[in-house]
Amino acid sequence: MESLDRLLDEYQMYGERREMWRKILKEHYHYEPRAVSRKLKEGEKISLGKTEMVVLHTPGHTPGHSCFEFPNEKVIYLADIDLTKFGPYYGDRGSDIDQTIQSVKRVAGIKDRTFIVSHEHAIYHGAIAKEAERYLAVIEQRENQLCELLRKPKTIEEIVAERIIYKKPREPKDFYEFGEQQMISKHLERLLRTERVIIENDHYQLKQ
């Protein structure tokens, strides 16, 4: 992220909310401006001295999310395809659920590697097909729960209050409610696109 203000503008954060997020990103996530020297491409090979790294573009979590393979060592760094019980995170402005599914399936099809992730259980050996299946199942569970809720009309605020994603209240409240709304919005966009859900007067409802 080259500019914190640009990021906050992207999410339309202004006034007190903007300052709250500025504080969270600086104090909790230790944000520092970073200049982009160049952009990586799918399949690009990067020499790191004795080690070679290959870029695997795996969008979904973010548009530019990538994994990195080290062929000689038979290691793949999965970054935020983290295989946690929480499931995939797709709360970024440019996140995409279907791309997330495609990317997870892509890396799950690779065998005989050591996989390193960025959260919780950090290292997996051999194959990750079972872990990936469980990980992706969370998306379906969330969507099924949302569809059940939408048997009656609900506003986005009412849906967020059900905490389908985070399950229970968490602190800081504004941080997690924002994440909840972002991810629920991705599911709603998907359901509207496939015509499983309709929206009338700011109320979402399962199509009868």
User: Lowest mean pLDDT: which of 13-17, 96-100, 190-194?
Assistant: 13-17
How does the average pLDDT of the chain come out, rounded? 95
Tokens of 150: 């939408």
Most distant CA pair in the chain: distance in Å?
60
Percent share of the chain, pLDDT over 90? 79
The rounded distance, in Å, linking the Cα atoms of 42 and 57 is 5
Strands, E assignment, the chain: 45-48, 51-57, 66-70, 75-79, 113-117, 123-126, 197-200, 203-206
pLDDT at 107 over 80: yes
* pLDDT mean over 23-39: 89
Pairing state of beta strands 75-79 and 66-70?
antiparallel
Residue 21's pLDDT is 87
Look-up of token digits 């629920």: 184
The model's pLDDT over 111-151, given as tens digits with 9 standing for 90+, comes to 999 999 998 888 999 999 999 999 999 999 999 999 999 99
Q: Any residues with CB less than 8 A from the CB of 32 and at least 6 apart, and which?
A: none
Distances (CA, A) of 26 to 23, 29, 33, 128, 184: 5, 6, 10, 34, 26
pLDDT at 157 over 90: yes
The rounded distance, in Å, linking the Cα atoms of 61 and 79 is 10
The rounded distance, in Å, linking the Cα atoms of 208 and 201 is 17
- Written as one string, the DSSP assignment of 2-60 is --HHHHHHHTT--HHHHHHHHHIIIIIS------------TT-EEEETTEEEEEEE--S
Which pTM was predicted?
A: 0.91
Residue 72's pLDDT is 97
Residue 62's pLDDT is 94
For the chain, give every domain's residue range.
1-37, 38-206
Which CATH number is 38-206's, of 3.60.15.10, 3.40.1390.20, 3.30.360.10, 3.30.1360.20?
3.60.15.10
* pLDDT mean over 100-121: 96
Tokens of 31: 């944000």
pLDDT at 12 over 80: no
